């Protein structure tokens, strides 16, 4: 074993590259990592994230230094703030000698929800994402995302049928960029309020009756879901870009119904 010899190990990555090709993104993917998140209503929340980190690589460098991504993440771990990842990104740009830097975090976010009638509490888990970048002009952009399960009930089925109406679990995803921070909790609640009914992890019989009847009273096509949320988002001046998707896991088909609206504030 050569460790301990006086010869330093060669740094292949830093050698000059002759192909004259810039790399758009290079880095690490699928690093699992425990993180702490600030919450709107309670103290910090511990959860587990999947992390991707990239930088651009100038044509003159043969390779980036992969271990530094993990080092930088370790150093910023204690103070990680999903609403302001600029310090971490600036560190990535500096220590990896890069024009721009990107980080993506996906994680389950837990909210304690009270059942609609009995008020019994149960934890709901929502898949969330944050993707932040700092470009070559040091302009920071952050895109947030939430995936929210709701019940949707088919208006056509209700209208045609003498009784009943098929309904299903729908996964409604909203991604957005904003001029000032929006709590994940606020966006999750906006989506839940637009479903035929919100979903809960703990429902007693009076709650189940309430959810059933609420869904029947508020039938929604997949098109209605994305339109009604779009109408809400257009009213929120902080939102400068958004994408709303609903994927309805149809109870009467094995394929899903799907709709998407993407808009940028003019």
Q: Across the chain, which distance is largest between two alpha carbons, in Å?
A: 86
Least separation in angstroms between CB 99 and a second copy: 14
The set of residues, in sequence order, having a beta carbon less than 8 Å from that of 151 and lying 6+ positions away, is 167, 168, 169, 170, 195, 196, 197, 198, 199, 211, 215
Measured from the CB atom, the residue of 40 and 204 that comes closer to a second copy is: 204
Q: Considering only CA atoms, give the Rg of the chain.
A: 23
Q: Of 54 and 181, which CB lies nearer to a second copy in the complex structure? A: 54
Measured from the CB atom, the residue of 61 and 144 that comes closer to a second copy is: 61
**Least CB distance to a second copy at residue 8 (A):** 9
Smaller CB separation from a second copy, 86 or 166: 166
**Smallest distance from a second copy to CB 93, Å:** 17
Strand partners, 111: 124
- CB 48, CB 107: distance < 8 Å: yes
Question: Smallest distance from the beta carbon of 45 to a second copy, in angstroms?
Answer: 8
Contact 200, 212 (CB under 8 A): no
* CB 105 within 8 Å of CB 130: yes
Tokens found for residue 263: 């808009």
What's the closest the beta carbon of residue 120 comes to a second copy, in angstroms?
7
Residue with smaller CB distance to a second copy, 17 or 84: 17
* C-beta atoms surrounding 188 within 10 Å: 22
Q: Which residues contact 105 (CB under 8 A, 6 or more apart)?
A: 35, 49, 50, 51, 82, 129, 130, 131
CA 245 distance to own-chain centroid = 13
Structure tokens at 91: 């560190």
**Lookup: tokens for 144:** 């947030």
Residue 218 beta carbon to a second copy: minimum distance, rounded to whole angstroms: 11
State the nearest-atom distance from the C-beta of 205 to a second copy, in Å: 4
Q: Which is nearer to a second copy, 41 or 180 (CB)?
A: 41
Q: Which is nearer to a second copy, 91 or 247 (CB)?
A: 247
């Amino acid at each position: 074993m050569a460790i301990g010899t006086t010869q330093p190990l060669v740094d292949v990555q830093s050698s000059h590259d002759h192909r004259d090709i810039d790399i758009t993104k290079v880095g690490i993917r699928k690093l699992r990592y425990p993180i702490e998140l600030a919450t709107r209503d309670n103290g910090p929340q511990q959860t587990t994230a999947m992390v991707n980190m990239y930088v651009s690589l100038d044509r003159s460098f043969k390779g980036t230094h992969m271990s530094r991504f993990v080092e930088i993440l370790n150093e910023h771990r204690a103070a990680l703030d999903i609403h302001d990842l600029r310090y971490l990104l600036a560190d990535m740009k500096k220590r990896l000698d890069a024009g721009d830097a990107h980080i993506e975090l996906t994680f389950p976010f837990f909210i304690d929800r009270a059942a609609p009638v009995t008020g019994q509490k149960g934890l709901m888990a929502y898949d969330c994402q944050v993707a932040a970048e700092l470009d070559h002009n040091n302009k920071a952009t952050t895109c947030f995302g939430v995936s929210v399960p709701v019940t949707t009930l088919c208006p056509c089925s209700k209208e045609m049928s003498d009784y009943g109406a098929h309904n299903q679990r729908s996964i409604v995803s909203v991604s957005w960029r904003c001029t000032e921070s929006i709590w994940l909790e606020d966006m999750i609640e906006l989506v839940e309020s637009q479903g035929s009914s919100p979903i809960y992890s703990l429902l007693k019989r009076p709650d189940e009756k309430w959810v059933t009847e609420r869904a029947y009273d508020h039938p929604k096509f997949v098109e209605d879901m994305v339109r009604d949320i779009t109408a809400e988002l257009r009213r929120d001046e902080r939102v400068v870009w958004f994408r709303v998707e609903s994927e309805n896991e149809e109870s009467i088909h094995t394929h899903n119904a799907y709709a998407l609206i993407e808009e940028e504030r003019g």
